[in-house]
Chains A and B, each alone.
Chain A
Amino acid sequence: MSSGLTHRPQPIWTNAVLAATLFAVDMTGMGGVNLRARCGPVRDTWLEFLRELLPDICPLRRVPHHIGDGRLLGGLDLAATLRSGSPVAERGLLVQANGGAVVLTGAERASVSLAARIGMALDTQEVCVQRDGVCSRNPTRIGVVLLDEGIDDEKPPAALLDRVAFHLDLDGVHLGEIGGRDFDAETIAAARHRLAHVDITEEVMRALCETSAALGIASVRAPLLAVRTARAAAALAGRSNVTRADAAIAAALVLAPRATIIPQAEAPQDKAETPEPSDERHRDSDSDAQSHDHPLTDVVVEAARAAIPEGLLAHLQSAQARLPRANAGRAGALMASNRRGRPAGIRRGEPRSGARLNVVETLRAAAPWQVLRRNTLRGAKQRRIEIRRADFRITKLEQRSETISIFVVDASGSSALHRLAEAKGAVEQLLADCYIRRDHVALVAFRGSGADIILPPTRSLARAKRSLSGLPGGGGTPLAIAIDAAATLAVTTRRKGQSPVLVLLTDGQANIARDGTPGRDKAAADALDAARAVRAAGIAALVVDISPQPHASAERLAREMGSRYLPLPHADAKSLSRAVQVASAESV
């Protein structure tokens, strides 16, 4: 599958173009593409390729990540309804894209609710609308392109990533390294016709399943997507049966980016080239490590291994060595729940001072009187719908500000050894209480030379527990960095309309300064400085001194932070939990 251009394009780019081509062959089968790249010419070129590969009639619709249900799914078309005097339904973006694809911009910030709606459309290939008096079911055969501009651990919702076949990362590709494409729209149209007649052998299917198991991929959707990809690859090559080469392409494009385990190989990692499927290679690489009886599986595993980006390997290794990162979901649930302000009913009233007119309810209120009003208006200028002030209805929203407890846990050497276990117990207890109150929690841990948000704001206890149990201790105490990180997080959550409470569990003895250098004096000064910033930002906080002998430095820190100070030399989980509850009740 090499490109026939004068300069050699980057292998990543070649793969990305191949993925776009296969996606164009079978859009609904592949589900879609996650395109991780910054906004720029490389991404634009890829999108343009896709556009050219699709038939002209195929719609390609952009969906912003903050889209409302009305536009996404459809509902009542208010303008048309008012004009015609009878309800007119409006089709949502997903339905409008039927037969084509939607491009989700800002996918890394998409909420889980949006992901669920799109995921459902992908699964059922239809959109079912039950909104504002509109009840419809429309075919929605679409693919989805996720434009992922995330950095570090930011990712689109897992519900979507699981459903799209290709996970491409074009972040390292420069404009000079990209090439052209090998296929044109006609070839693809031919492949699309051939697709239904491509056979796949039992052996290939088994090989793809075994490969996905060898790579530690849990979801069953992955091998299924790989099977469809292999079939599309065969159709593209003009064959009517899937060969090893097709299976290798599927493994490289679909399975490799999902790997959580790197299968063992005797040969060192020297594969930076394209996953050029070579049938000879499988013999010389070891087959004992996998103990597969099927030589094909070895070929496919090898192809996948060759395609695993080097960065992924390093990431996996460091992830195992360091903290387990919670990678499923994200802050999405948070945004959704914030928007979820519970409608506490509809009432008569005028749309003033921010109250939103509920047009559907207003129409409903006006509806029974239409005949009567028209009759009394006889002679005067007739309008389609006669609406009076008394008909106005507004939605009453009951906004309960959500509390979010941000735990900042000192996991450094000074407190870790004897206190970390107790601190963990206390946090678990608090989490349990937060769970009952439906609060969100976030967890920042600091040790060594930095602070990590090991748990972004979430309600999921399973995740909280997981990230907490894997928290190691030891190292320096970068208190200032930790307070800064927590304060930033607090300000962000407050911008979303939540009430953050910082709970700092530490002995207050900083020894790493803001710039990462060791030294007690500088570190202490920086920590106090960070504490003052918290007070200036007006963030509610609680300092829990977890050292065996209460220490003046922690108390000083609390004072500068304008927060309560709680020496808990014998902190048991129960009393700590109670203290935090009191603090958050006072602050909110």
Chain B
Amino acid sequence: MPLAYPFSAIVGQDEMKLALLIAAVDPSVGGVLIFGDRGSGKSTAVRALASLLPKISVVAQCRFSCDPQDKAALCGECRSRLGQGPLKVRQSEVAVVDLPLGATEDRVVGALDLERALSDGVKAFEPGLLAQAHRGFLYIDEVNLLEDYLVDLLLDAAASGENVVEREGLSLRHPARFVLVGTGNPEEGELRPQLLDRFGLSVEVHTPRDLSDRIEVVRRRDAFERNPTDFVAKWKKEDGRLRRRIVTARAALEAVDVPDAALKKAAQLCITLGTDGLRGELTLMRAARAVASLDSAKRVTDAHLRKVAAPALRHRLRRNPLDDAGSTVRIERAVTELFGA
């Protein structure tokens, strides 16, 4: 695996970086969708995130990376292990699993282990990508080109937090709680509107227009390519700081107070914009809480809500689908109206 470009060395793209950090702090936000121009560093950011995430503790022998602390969410195998004594625990990297285009359903949900079935005649389950992504991230580059039925399947699993396998005489379920991250370019086809609002946050990225930013992008990218090891080492400190910020924010998340006033503001914003359902408000609130926690704030304020309003609501507006710039502008207008300029 080649070295990944450091997260903190990404120039600009603040909204995208913030959205990914929010998902790292509070996975229950429910996935991040990043749409935008070619060459704006979408995939780079997601791949960079992997090396930023702090390690997690998992049950040592578990192939689904169960959380030893969360007894209720253990897989069937771990539950039977629980009967034989305390669970062995090891530290593990957070998985950022790639779902490449052209993947077949059997590899996504898992299937009968062909090798063992053919040679030993044993009916064994071979876990798929959903199992690998448990407690981590599942990343789909060019999500708009993935077959719709696979996206459906992923979103279902992401929403329910478990993967149900019923095929080839196998019948089992295992936990699959993961953050779905999708990137894509709208010029190559859009995502079905029904799928859009099942992502928690939606980010629009553009290539930097500012000349000095562009020069900086080229300069850093060039430095990275010439000597990846040195470049990563140079940014190690910055990445480390960010990692500590995530760890602190995660620990403090529960303690962040969401005052009634903030809830009211969030509700007002959603009513003004006419978003469907409660998912928008819920995401808005959770994302704002994660941002507050990242800022080491004790309570959610207007500033936090403002920061996440666009990514949390942009894709939930009842929109005129022809109006491409419309949603962001409408949200900005509503935010200014509600919070003042």
Contact = CB atoms under 8 A, between A and B. Distances in A.
Interface of A: 29, 69, 72-73, 85-87, 112-113, 116-117, 120, 123-135, 137, 157-159, 162, 196, 200, 202, 205-206, 208-210, 212-213, 218-221, 223-224, 227-228, 328-329, 333, 336-337, 340, 342-343, 360-361, 363-365, 367-372, 385, 428, 431-432, 435-436, 438, 459-465
Contacts of A128: 98, 100
Given A86-B119, A159-B185, A367-B114, A196 B218 contact: no
B188 A329 contact: yes
B121 A370 contact: yes
B178 to A, nearest CB: 15
A462 B186 contact: yes
B99, B108, B190 pick with most chain A CB within 10 angstroms: B190
Contact of B321 (A73, A157, A368, A461): A461
Interface string B139-170: 00110010111000000000000000000110
Interface stretch (B19-27, B34-42, B57-65): B34-42
28 contacts: A86-B115, A86-B118, A87-B118, A112-B145, A116-B141, A124-B2, A130-B100, A130-B108, A131-B103, A132-B107, A133-B107, A133-B113, A157-B188, A158-B187, A200-B222, A210-B211, A220-B208, A220-B214, A224-B218, A227-B222, A328-B187, A337-B189, A363-B114, A364-B168, A368-B123, A371-B120, A460-B188, A465-B322
Contact of B324 (A73, A86, A361, A462): A462
A224 B101 contact: no
B190 A460 contact: yes
Given A218-B37, A461-B321, A370 B101 contact: no
Contacts of A209: 211, 214-215, 218
Secondary structure class of chain A's binding surface, majority of residues:
helix
A363 B112 CA distance: 10
Contacts of A436: 193, 321
A125 B4 CA distance: 12
B187 A85 contact: no
B282 interface: no
Contacts of A463: 187
A117 B145 CA distance: 10
Task: Give 6 closest A-B pairs by Cβ, nearest first.
Answer: A367-B117, A371-B121, A130-B107, A69-B102, A130-B103, A221-B39
A228 B223 CA distance: 11
Nearest to A223: B218
Interface string B220-242: 01100110000000000000000
Nearest to B129: A130
Nearest to B186: A462
Given A73-B102, A120-B141, A219-B207, A459 B218 contact: no
Interface of B: 1-2, 37-40, 43, 47, 98-108, 111-115, 117-123, 126, 129, 141-142, 145, 147-149, 168-169, 185-190, 192-193, 207-208, 211, 214-215, 217-219, 221-222, 225-226, 320-322, 324
Contact of B121 (A123, A219, A340, A368): A368
Q: Which of A87, A212, A365, A369 has most B Cβ within 10 Å?
A: A87
A341 to B, nearest CB: 10
Given A125-B2, A159-B188, A220-B40, A133 B106 contact: yes
Contacts of A370: 117-118, 121
B326 to A, nearest CB: 11
Nearest to B41: A220
Nearest to A340: B147
Given A205-B218, A227-B218, A364-B112, 18 more contacts: A69-B102, A86-B118, A125-B2, A133-B106, A133-B115, A158-B187, A209-B215, A224-B217, A224-B221, A343-B105, A363-B114, A364-B117, A367-B112, A367-B117, A368-B123, A371-B120, A461-B190, A461-B321
